[in-house]
Structure 1
Amino acid sequence: MPRDVPERVAVDGDRLWRSLMELAKIGAYDDAQTGLRGVSRLALTDADADGRRLLVSWMKAAGLTVRVDAVGNIYGRRAGSEQDARPVLIGSHIDSVASAGAFDGCLGVLGGLEIIRTLNERGVTTRRPLEIVAFSDEEGVRFGTDMLGSAVAAGRIALEDAYALKDADGLSFGEELTRIGFAGPHGVRLNPPPHAYLECHIEQGPLLVRSGTDVGVVTGTQGISWQEILVYGRAAHAGATPTEMRIDAGLFAAEIVRHLRDMVESGDFGKLRATVGHLSLHPGDTNIVPARARLTVDLRNPDEDEMVRAEEHLARYLDGLQGVQDGLRITARRMARTSPVAFNARLQAIVTREADSLGLTHAVLMSGAGHDAQEMAAVCPAVMIFARGEYDGISHSPREYSTAESCARAIDLLAATALKLADEE
């Protein structure tokens, strides 16, 4: 290892916190349900564009060479002593769900930026270049496909297919990317691939906070299956139509929701989790029997075979359900599908050793959520670090919270891991 590269660096936790809070002002709103300040920065909205511009300004201020690719992924590169060496890539995303907090994705991007700032201040030169990336539309809530930017970069989704995705208003990803000014000129494929990909994220779960553990070493991610189900019934007058003559789309949608919970509670599909995150009725009037219902289904499973079994069972159930009553019709469309991903064992071992060296307690655990790291694992060794979240790790909510100390500990570990990898032959 070159003499000017220290064994480890401690980031400025206060500065990292200020950056997180500054970015959280963009898309901020007052949440009526919780009484808290939340963040709504959906992909390719004006708020997302403002967040992107702030990030680019911070990258440039840190001396990074910034490039934006054709799917809107933002990269900032710090030179190494061996410019032709493949870089160590650190990243996540800054887009959010509609009712979010300040940490999901943002900690990974701004934590990487804080590492760069700290190395600059200490005059540290790494052998390999370091790159920070903010991937486009990781959440997937607007255009219906999660991890979109990283999936295009990894080659799982074609750029033209990403451009063609549309939101609920019929606006395409490609049109909106151009509108906000982030359809970049650079190619999307990472060629050659990075030396390694590192991502730090809040856990989005209760294990670390309940056990009082500092950080998590992540072994991989679950499989994810997203479907849109449409139930077609028949509109009718709420008062004048006898119950036995109704084809109530809302009623059958409710039966689907109940059946999904029964699937989970049966234990027949391993560690299955099922969520109906969206349910809408048409025409949506108080005095009309619903003619149509739209619901989204999110299935998660750490076992691919069990996930396939759950998907096949749900398909059979829907087929059978629409035979219950004449005139009832049900369709299902797959929105997104990823298989379980195991992260690189060597990188997990490095993270574990560095956590021991920093005196951090750590747990080995699988992620319940999807992350850009699972896409990057297809093109280079990848690993994740979890920071502890408070309030039982609640996320995708204004209640999402981590302390400045927990964030700094996790980013210190990210920095130690990045330094180790950046100075490998």
Structure 2
Amino acid sequence: MSIGIDRERFVETMKEQAAIGGTEDGGLHRLALSDEDREIRDWFRDQLEELGLDVRIDEFGNMFGRREGTDPDAAPVLIGSHLDSQPYGGIYDGALGVIAPLELLRTLEEEGIETEHPIEIVNWTNEEGSRFQPAMQGSGVWVGAHDIETEYERTDENGDLLVDELERIGYRGDVPAEPQEEYEAYLELHIEQGPYLELEGKEVGVVTGVVGFYWGAITYYGEADHSGPTPMHFRNDALVGAADVITQVRRIPSTLGDRTVGTVGYVDAQPNSINIIPEEVTFTFGFRDPSDDIVEEAKHRVLAEAEAAAEREGLEWEWEKRHQSDSVRFADTCVDAVQASADELGYDSMRIFSGAGHDAVHLTDVCDTSMVFAVSEDGKSHSEAEYTSWDDCYSSANTIANAAFRLANGE
């Protein structure tokens, strides 16, 4: 048995949520624990209560709504994503994965359809990590990957404590931020944030896993001097060493794998003056790939390049690890449920690895997990230019709704 969510209501609900924190250019500015976040949380809680769901808020602000199943001993199927956004991001990132299960629960209620397992919908706190770091924070606390007291003490750029902001907006709940029981499965819908579905002409992505990644930082120490009288062979230019390595971060991935990517996202040069040779430069580097071995090889290569550049330019240097996450393979039971649903609904799908981290990564420590991807036009995300057609939104939403329905009935 398949179900079909109400397309018109689903689209209208997506537009309704997008108006909360919406920008003049059609994007979304709804940072975690901001006033806009409080407004969307209030709105979301109203939607859950209108359905008669059991709503609970945990100590870290994660929001859950529960629809009971026919078997009181059956473990719940959890489905959801996040409602916070990047600064001036898009209206689909995260929100699509919350509105789709909301529409699933509305459909089940309207049609009087029961499920064997309970179904829970969740809005995770601070998935984006744009105001408070790290990303995927709420789900990380919930599964025990992060210590809640440590995360409470995180501050934003204004020095505001996370725990204070959580209390200010009224969403520091009294339920422990941890699983209260065993879970059958977790499903998450998200836009792809990459170009592969569009390039292959597919409607739905059946996500089989998430890439591993490594983030590090390198600092070069040279010598400041006048940019005019100092001969080139007298110079110890920290920026030249950094530039040599930065170009290698761009080139290394093409020698390793089809899905390997490398990025330098931050550079700080001191004293940062047009008339002074840079004496200290720090930059970050990151690599991602489905293979942890390839990520490790990329890291070793860039550090070898860093050592060689330091020797050429007469620089001292050091590096530090910022973060590392192993790749994740999702459970066959959940992947197969997504695939079967896409096939039954007649959607042209493909299996795909996620190039970005999601809350689903943390949930693999708790239960079987998988994801559904919607097409991202031009692969754009984390900007107001982010776009997914309503047809593609609906196809992916209908797919995850049916996958959750299958799992909630033991299929």
If the length of structure 2 is used for normalisation, what is the TM-score? 0.89
* Aligned AA (2:388): S
Give the counterpart letter for 2:292 in structure 1: E
Work out the CA distance in 2 between the residues paired with 1:191 and 1:340: 27
> 2:10, 2:99 within 8 Å by CA — same for their partners in 1?
yes
SS at match of 1:216: strand
| Mapping for residues 265-276 of structure 1, pairs under 5 Å | 265-267=254-256, 271-276=259-264
Aligned to 1:33: none
Q: What is aligned with 1:405?
A: 391
- State the alpha-carbon separation in 1 of the partners of residues 224 and 163 from structure 2: 36
Whether the 8 Å CA contact 1:318–1:330 is kept in 2: the answer is: no
Q: 1:300 aligns with which of 288, 299, 302?
A: 288
From 312, 319, 339, the equivalent of 2:326 is 339
| 1:310 counterpart letter in structure 2 | A
TM-score (normalised: structure 1): 0.87
Structure 2 contact 30–85 (Cα < 8 Å) conserved = yes
1:368-383 equivalent positions in 2, closer than 5 A: 368-383=355-370
- Amino acid corresponding to residue 373 of structure 2 in structure 1: F
Aligned equivalent of 1:86, options 49, 58, 75: 75
Shifted more, 89-98 versus 274-283: the winner is 274-283
User: What's the RMSD between the two structures over aligned residues?
Assistant: 2.7
Q: Per the alignment, do residues 253 and 19 of structure 1 end up closer, same or farther by CA in structure 2, a change over 3 Å counting?
A: farther
Match of 2:131 in 1: 142
Secondary structure of the 1:38 match is: coil
Once the two structures are overlaid, the 10-residue window that deviates more, 84-93 or 314-323, is: 314-323
Task: Say whether 1:122 aligns with 2:108.
Answer: no
Which of 202, 206, 210 matches 2:199? Answer: 210
Q: Where does structure 2 lack aligned partners over 5 or more consecutive residues? A: none
Deviation at 1:111, TM superposition (A): 0.8
Contact 1:223 1:341 in 2 (8 A): yes
CA pair 241-54 structure 1, distance change in 2 beyond 3 A: farther
Checking the alignment, whether the CA contact within 8 Å between 1:229 and 1:333 is kept in structure 2 is no
Moved more, 235-244 or 211-220: 235-244
Question: Are 1:222 and 2:208 counterparts?
Answer: no
Are positions 1:159 and 2:148 aligned together? yes
Equivalent position of 1:359 in the other structure: 346
In structure 1, which of residues 261, 279, 298 is the aligned counterpart of residue 267 of structure 2?
Answer: 279
State yes or no: 1:196 paired with 2:190: no
* Separation of aligned partners in 1, 2:198 and 2:124: 28
**Take 1:29 and 1:248, find their aligned partners in 2: how far apart are those partners?**
43
Would you say the 8 A contact 1:226–1:297 is kept in 2? yes
SS at match of 1:28: coil
Amino acid paired to 2:386 = E
Q: Distance in 2 between matches of 1:226 and 1:96?
A: 22
What fraction of aligned residue pairs are identical, expressed as a percent? 37
In the alignment, what sits opposite 2:297? 309
Rate the CA distance shift 1:144–1:266 in 2: closer, same or farther, 3 A.
farther
SS class of match (1:101): coil
How many Å apart are 1:243 and its aligned residue? 5.2
Give the counterpart letter for 1:385 in structure 2: V
Distance 2:177 2:66 in 1: 16
1:100 corresponds in structure 2 to 89
Contact map agreement 1:45 1:180 (CA 8 A) in 2? yes
1:354 Cα deviation from its structure 2 partner: 1.9
User: Which position in structure 2 is the counterpart of 1:3?
Assistant: none
2:11 aligns with 17
